[in-house]
Amino acid sequence: MREAGKSIEHVLDALNFFLADVRDGLGPYLSIYLLTEQKWDQASIGVVMSVAALAGIIAQTPAGALIDRSTAKRALMVAAAIVVTAACLALPLIHRFEVVAATQALAACAGAIFPPAIAAVTLGTVGPRAFTRRIGRNEAFNHAGNATAAAIAAVTAYFYGPIVVFRLLAAMAVASVFATLSIPADAIDHHLARGLDAASAGRAGHRDQPSGFQVLLSCRPLLIFAAATVLFHFSNAAMLPLVGQKLALVNRDLGTTLMSVCIIAAQVVMVPVAMVVGRKADVWGRKPIFAVALAVLALRGTLYPLSDNPYWLVSVQLLDGVGAGIFGALFPLVVADLTRGTGHFNVSQGAIATAAGLGGALSAAVAGFIVVGAGYSAAFLFLAGIAAAGLIGFCAMMPETLRDNAERPAATTVPAPSIVS
């Protein structure tokens, strides 16, 4: 049994490592490619990225509900990886605005499967007591995969240009498919995977179905957390693409390589941050840790405008490792706290991710128009202000969600808990 447990741990490590790039698609590389290779302006780039993000938003909640209902979670992840890769590999072959937007929207819809699926498979294989530690480890390997892929992209793009990123993503996707299929199908407890425990699973049965946005409307802490994630993503989503554009404008030939350096710098920081969150979130609580993420995000936005020097921009980008590392590891923990025993864990993730995606989608478009009208510094300071507003609201309104597992009663309906701050 112990050897089987270790085997699952290693498979989850590999899955998170190889899915790191696939789950995000082209990400900030899309901005550089469209700017330097297809000569698009910043506003058009922002609109395309927003269209893709909005498509992902539409898919988030249905994806979470699908994962809650499905016992074919591995097959869904494999199919999504194939779709994301196909859409990204098609990009160098197309040039029209509407076609580029459509392919990236398709990739975003498929990518919506990964976050709830990985969280569900993790919860279904390790159980709720080991979930906090394992989520931290998931995020650490995810960031390690991103850093490794970015390092390879940085070196190869110098010799072969930005198009090499598309080929790298395809290779990671193939590896992620093998990692996904390495998880034994019978190792996943599908009741645990949707947030049910033994007692509530018996009461709910197979006919209990997730209820979409009812999970948010019925639980005030979830609504507050959703609002905080909207502001976090609104502030954060556009920062790295804007930094990439500034780097590309300074040195067009090194734009992709410098972007890779930025990503590597942040991802290297995210690995230990995610591990610390996984080990300490049950000790320190969720609220103070997430507040740190918002505070660091606000600080980061105020520091970017101080210099256009590539060394300075990369150094400030290290702070992204703190904020994003915390958010990635903490998000499923807070949702699990508030949905324990309901069977709505994954659809709740999807509903909040929909709200967060709305923030990210608006971020790219708004920031792009601010850059065109007032410059990069104004855009960064605006985004920093959004993060500061989120920090104030979160600290004032969000309760602490951490409770001892033994004290959390199971429920078969969406809870509206009264949690003491």
pLDDT of 209-245, one tens digit each?
A: 544 556 666 778 888 898 899 999 999 988 888 887 7
Q: In angstroms, how far apart are the furthest CA atoms of the chain?
A: 62
Residue pointed to by tokens 């995969």: 145
Is the distance from CB of 150 to CB of 264 less than 8 angstroms? yes
Ordered structural domains, the chain, with CATH? 2-184+210-407 (1.20.1250.20)
pLDDT in tens, the chain (421 residues): 444 555 788 889 999 998 877 766 666 677 777 777 777 777 778 788 778 878 888 888 888 888 888 888 899 999 998 888 888 778 878 878 888 888 888 888 888 888 889 988 998 888 888 888 898 888 888 888 877 887 787 777 777 776 777 778 888 888 888 989 888 888 888 888 877 765 555 444 444 554 455 666 677 888 889 889 999 999 998 888 888 777 777 666 666 667 667 777 777 888 899 889 888 888 898 999 999 999 999 999 999 999 888 888 888 888 988 988 898 889 888 888 887 777 778 888 888 888 787 777 788 788 888 988 888 889 999 999 999 999 999 999 998 988 744 344 333 333 333 333 3
Gap between the Cα atoms of 240 and 318, Å rounded: 11
Structure tokens at 11: 């498979």
What digits encode the pLDDT tens for the residues 291-340?
Answer: 999 999 999 999 999 988 888 888 888 898 898 889 888 988 888 888 77
Is the distance from CB of 98 to CB of 48 less than 8 angstroms? no
> Residue 396: is it exposed, middle or buried by C-beta count within 10 angstroms (0-12/13-18/19+)?
exposed
- pTM for this structure? 0.71
Is the distance from CB of 365 to CB of 101 less than 8 angstroms? no
Degrees to nearest 5, angle at CA 297 with 293 and 298: 120
Is the distance from CB of 124 to CB of 258 less than 8 angstroms? no
